[in-house]
Amino acid sequence: MKISFIATILNEEKNIDKLLHSIVNQSRKADEIVIVDGGSVDSTRAKIFNFDNKIKLIVKKGNRAVGRNEAIKNASNEIIVCSDAGCVLDKDWTKNIIKPFENPKVDVVAGYYKGKPNSVFEKCLVPYVLVMPDKINADNFLPATRSMAFKKSIWGKAGRFSEEYSHNEDYVFAQKLKKIKAKIFFQKKAVVYWLPKKNLGESLVAFYSFSLGDAEAKIFRPKVILLFFRYLIAFTILIVLLITKLVFFLNLLLILVAIYAFWSIVKNYKYINNWRAFYFLPEIQITSDLAVMLGTIVGLFSAKNR
Q: Residue 64: which of 8, 135, 122, 102 has the closest Cα?
A: 8
Q: Residue 33: which of 58, 8, 56, 66 has the closest Cα?
A: 56
Domain count, the chain: 2
Q: Is the pLDDT of residue 195 over 80?
A: yes
User: In terms of domains, do 43 and 179 share one?
Assistant: yes
User: Residue 165 — very low, low, confident or very high, per pLDDT cuts 50/70/90?
Assistant: confident
Yes or no: say if 299 and 209 are a contact pair by the CB < 8 Å rule.
Answer: no
pLDDT tens sequence across 230-279: 999 999 999 999 999 999 999 999 999 999 999 999 999 999 999 999 99
User: In terms of domains, do 89 and 115 share one?
Assistant: yes
**Stretch (H or E) spanning 194:** strand 184-194
User: In terms of domains, do 135 and 267 share one?
Assistant: no
Q: CA 32, CA 11: separation in Å to the nearest integer?
A: 22
At 78 the three-state DSSP class reads coil
Domain end residue (candidates: 161, 194, 227): 194
Q: CA 165, CA 204: separation in Å to the nearest integer?
A: 19
User: In terms of domains, do 176 and 225 share one?
Assistant: no
User: Residue 145 — very low, low, confident or very high, per pLDDT cuts 50/70/90?
Assistant: very high
User: In terms of domains, do 126 and 248 share one?
Assistant: no
User: In terms of domains, do 216 and 166 share one?
Assistant: no
State the pLDDT at residue 216. 87
Domain end residue (candidates: 194, 213, 234): 194
Q: CA 214, CA 203: separation in Å to the nearest integer?
A: 17
Q: The domain that contains 184 carries what CATH number?
A: 3.90.550.10
pLDDT tens sequence across 6-63: 999 999 999 899 999 999 999 999 999 999 999 999 999 999 999 987 899 999 999 9
State the pLDDT at residue 219. 83
Domain end residue (candidates: 194, 214, 247): 194
- Domain of 204? 200-304
State the pLDDT at residue 125. 97
State the pLDDT at residue 305. 65
At 142 the three-state DSSP class reads coil
Rg of the Cα trace of the chain? 21
User: Residue 85 — very low, low, confident or very high, per pLDDT cuts 50/70/90?
Assistant: confident
User: In terms of domains, do 190 and 232 share one?
Assistant: no
User: In terms of domains, do 152 and 209 share one?
Assistant: no
Q: CA 147, CA 97: separation in Å to the nearest integer?
A: 8
pLDDT tens sequence across 60-80: 999 999 999 999 999 999 999
Q: Residue 186: which of 150, 138, 144, 154 has the closest Cα?
A: 138
Q: Is the pLDDT of residue 306 over 80?
A: no
User: In terms of domains, do 65 and 165 share one?
Assistant: yes
Q: Is the pLDDT of residue 204 over 80?
A: yes
Q: Residue 291: which of 158, 202, 222, 217 has the closest Cα?
A: 202
pLDDT tens sequence across 87-134: 999 999 999 999 999 999 999 999 999 999 999 999 999 999 999 999
Report the helix count and the strand count for the chain, using DSSP H and E: 11, 8
User: In terms of domains, do 186 and 139 share one?
Assistant: yes
User: In terms of domains, do 52 and 151 share one?
Assistant: yes
User: In terms of domains, do 181 and 228 share one?
Assistant: no
